[in-house]
Amino acid sequence: MTIVFIGAGNLATNLSIAFKKAGYSILQVYSRTEKSARELSKKINCDYTIDINKLKKADIYFFAVGDKVIKKLLESNNFENKFIVHTAGSVSIDVFKDKSNNYGVFYPIQTFSKERIVDFKNIPICIEANNRDSQKLLENIVNSISDDLRIINSEQRKLIHLTAVFACNFVNHLYSISSDILKKGNISFDILKPLIIETANKIIDNDPKCAQTGPAVRNDNQTIEKHLKMLNDDNLKNIYKLFSDDIFRKMNG
């Protein structure tokens, strides 16, 4: 099976490397940014182009670009007889309607960075397809890199993507906030790492509601007041208040 990647970002990098390892032939990488295209093509040893009209003929075209870009590219090139697949959490499968006869979605639920190549084995991959043959093809591809295939429609996928923003991006931002606060006190962020790992591990076997600890859940207003006084950034004060109120409300409501 031959593949062309449209996009050369975090997801394209991780996914193309996984596909190459699984034995697929990556023919080409397209990106608007020549630097990104060249870098990824080097990693997986294939051609690259920055001209959407110079895509090679392949069995499958993976769109790993933002929502707006998918639409633009679909207008600049004819994909009518091509099998096209996108990887975006919040984009409906219908973006491909009338653009091709065979299309689908391939959405791995994970956070990807170019510098950190992950193993797909335990990553849930959500697929959706416009017909049986397309679905069968996507199933085979998932099964070649992951043990966790999920058939998920566009509405469910949007919901999953929304929660991934809370459980990953916002969580990571809380790590970032903590790191900044510690820096001001000349304390290494390392000191929080065992706590961060345990907080994540704790919900593998427990409902997060039962796992909750800290001043908000035990309604310890004295500590909450002390903490609010220590924060001199209005955004952080708001985040602290909103979370403390919401934790108390959810645990007692």
Q: According to CB under 8 A, which residues from 147 to 186 bind a second copy?
A: 148, 150, 155-156, 158-179, 181-182, 184-185
Comparison of 51 and 198: residue with beta carbon closer to a second copy: 198
User: What is the C-alpha separation between 179 and 71, in angstroms, rounded?
Assistant: 38
Any residues with CB less than 8 A from the CB of 81 and at least 6 apart, and which?
100, 101
State the Cα–Cα distance between residues 43 and 211, nearest whole angstrom: 42
**Smallest distance from the beta carbon of 160 to a second copy, in angstroms?**
6
Nearer Cβ to a second copy (110/135) = 110
**Closer of 27 and 217 to a second copy (Cβ):** 217
Q: Is 10 in the site for a second copy (CB under 8 A)?
A: yes
Q: Rounded CA gap, 150 and 241, in Å?
A: 37
CB of 136 to a second copy, least distance (A): 22
Q: Is residue 114 at the binding interface for a second copy, with CB under 8 A as the rule?
A: no
The alpha carbon of residue 66 and the mean position of all alpha carbons in its chain are separated, in whole angstroms, by 12
Query: How many other CB atoms are there within 10 angstroms of residue 154's CB atom?
Result: 17
Instruction: Between 23 and 185, name the residue whose CB sits nearer to a second copy.
Output: 185
Backbone angles phi, psi at 164, to 5 degrees: -65, -35
Smallest distance, a second copy to C-beta of residue 177, A: 5
Within 12-71, which residues bind a second copy (CB under 8 A)?
66-68
